[in-house]
């Protein structure tokens, strides 16, 4: 299938007064900064009717300088109807998003709703591109994508591209193409920091979607590039610590991300021995508490298990290779790690105007099992996190699991020396 492009509207591309390019307004209108930083609005709708939900978002986000909308929605909505409703509501405003395994709203963790972010064109120049046919994605196509995004942002840049831009990728979370797509895009983007998340479907593991050009798409991805004068920081964290025990992948089906044997034993049998539970009790909550990771240099990258199959093989969310060594991991206190990371971001940037967060759904399952959803939601709310629970996260071209990954956008001027 040919690529299609999510162009910014004519309204966004009109000539702006040059003074807006030199300095963001010193006193933006109060309604844009009441809950978030300069140039950012957030909204959530819990209406189950797609048209009512879209209109509620529109009423909260629309203003004369709205330039782009990013949303995350429950897969429980009738997506065809929701797509039409969003297109009608936002008309000429570019809008993109994806389905989730749970939403992060201003109130923290929620389910069954839509949360959205509106970007003011005076503070953010945003370009986005839809990528279809992920299986055939290669470096020439990646270069075409990045060239388009860079050229679009350069035409409307609020600041030099280098040092003032970041990229967000949303992918079909069940496409099994994340590693190839991300590594190829990262090579094409070079030094521009990137992050993202794989779309979910409320833990059904059946159909996940990204939204662009008025439609929800499967087996597709969306690349979004943001240029801004505001300070920002792309980050990732996890709360998992390595144990001594190692498992070697001795037989694998790479195409399906399926491990058939660990240590020359049927994979589920060896994993059940490791965690001390019978195979019948292996489920998502166990996988969340007892993950495996591959070590690259001094860093451990989690390779989360998706499911146990009838033949006692294990499906993974990330790519796995024959011969790799997987290290058993154990969780440290998640809230302590999250509070530390959010505190560090505030130290670097000052109080964040907004954090766009991609949070693995297995982390949420762990919090639910520990009855810590309420304090976690309060922490995310105080930090102004908006985002979604994912089927995998992305950081600088790496496909990773069981992390909290995102971008923190500050409220002040450019940090000196960035």
pLDDT computed for residue 37 by the predictor? 76
Other Cβ atoms less than 10 A from the Cβ of 36: the count is 20
pTM of the model: 0.84
Delineate the domains of the chain, giving CATH numbers in brackets. Answer: 33-237+335-410 (no CATH), 240-331 (2.40.30)
What pLDDT digit, counting tens, does each position of 253-263 carry? 988 889 999 99
Q: Across the strands, what pairs with 72?
A: 98, 115
Structure tokens given for 80: 């065809």
Contact of 402 with 288, CB cutoff 8 Å: yes
Residues paired with 119 in a beta bridge:
40, 68
Residue 183, SS3? Answer: helix
Give CA–CA dist 73/116, Å, rounded.
Answer: 9
For 20, residues 6+ apart whose C-beta sits below 8 A from its C-beta are: 122, 158
Give the β-pairing of 103-105 and 385-390: antiparallel
The region that residue 276 occupies, defined by phi over 0 for left and psi between -120 and 50 for alpha, beta otherwise, is left
Digits of tens for pLDDT over the chain (418 positions)?
333 333 333 333 333 333 333 333 333 333 333 357 789 999 999 999 999 999 999 999 999 999 999 999 999 999 999 999 999 999 989 999 999 999 999 999 999 999 999 999 999 999 999 988 877 777 788 888 888 888 888 888 899 988 999 999 999 867 666 777 777 777 777 789 999 999 999 878 788 999 999 999 998 999 999 999 999 999 999 999 999 999 999 999 988 889 999 999 999 999 999 999 999 999 988 998 899 999 988 889 888 899 999 999 999 988 888 999 999 999 999 999 999 999 999 999 988 899 999 999 999 999 999 999 999 999 999 999 999 999 989 888 788 889 999 999 998 754 443 4
């Amino acid at each position: 299938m040919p690529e299609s492009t999510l162009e910014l509207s004519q309204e966004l591309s009109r000539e702006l007064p040059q003074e807006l390019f030199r300095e963001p307004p010193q006193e933006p209108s109060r309604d844009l900064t009441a809950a978030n930083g300069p140039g950012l609005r957030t909204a959530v709708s819990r209406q189950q009717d797609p048209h009512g939900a879209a209109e509620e978002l529109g009423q909260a986000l629309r203003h004369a300088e709205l330039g782009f909308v990013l949303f995350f929605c429950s897969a429980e909505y009738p997506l065809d109807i929701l797509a039409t409703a969003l297109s009608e509501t936002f008309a000429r405003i570019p809008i993109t998003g994806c389905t989730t395994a749970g939403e992060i709203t201003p109130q923290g963790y929620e389910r069954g709703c839509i949360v959205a972010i509106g970007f003011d064109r005076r503070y953010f120049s945003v370009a986005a591109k839809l990528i279809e046919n992920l299986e055939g994605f290669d470096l020439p196509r990646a270069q075409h994508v990045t060239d388009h995004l860079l050229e679009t942002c350069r035409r409307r840049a609020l600041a030099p591209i280098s040092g003032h831009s970041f990229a967000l990728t949303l992918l079909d979370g069940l496409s099994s193409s994340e590693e190839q797509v991300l590594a190829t895009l990262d090579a094409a983007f070079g030094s521009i920091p990137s992050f993202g998340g794989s779309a979910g479907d409320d833990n059904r593991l059946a159909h996940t979607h990204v939204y662009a050009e008025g439609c929800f798409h499967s087996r597709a991805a969306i690349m979004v590039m943001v240029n801004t004068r505001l300070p920002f920081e792309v980050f990732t964290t996890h709360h998992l610590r390595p144990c001594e025990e190692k498992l070697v992948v001795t037989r694998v089906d790479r195409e399906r991300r399926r491990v058939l044997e660990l240590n020359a034993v049927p994979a589920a049998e060896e994993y059940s021995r490791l965690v001390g539970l019978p195979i019948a009790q292996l489920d998502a909550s166990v996988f969340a508490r007892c993950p495996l990771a591959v070590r690259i240099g001094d860093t451990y990258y989690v390779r989360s298990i998706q499911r146990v199959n009838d033949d006692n093989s294990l499906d993974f969310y990330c790519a796995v290779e024959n011969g790799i060594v997987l290290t058993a991991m154990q969780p440290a206190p998640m809230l302590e790690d999250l509070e530390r990371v959010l505190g560090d971001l505030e130290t670097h940037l000052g109080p964040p105007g907004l954090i766009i967060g991609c949070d693995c759904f297995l982390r949420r399952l762990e919090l639910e099992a520990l009855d810590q959803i309420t304090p976690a939601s309060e922490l995310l709310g105080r930090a102004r996190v908006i985002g979604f629970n994912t089927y995998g996260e992305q950081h600088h071209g790496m496909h990773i699991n069981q992390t909290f990954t995102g971008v923190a956008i500050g409220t002040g001027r450019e940090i000196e020396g960035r």
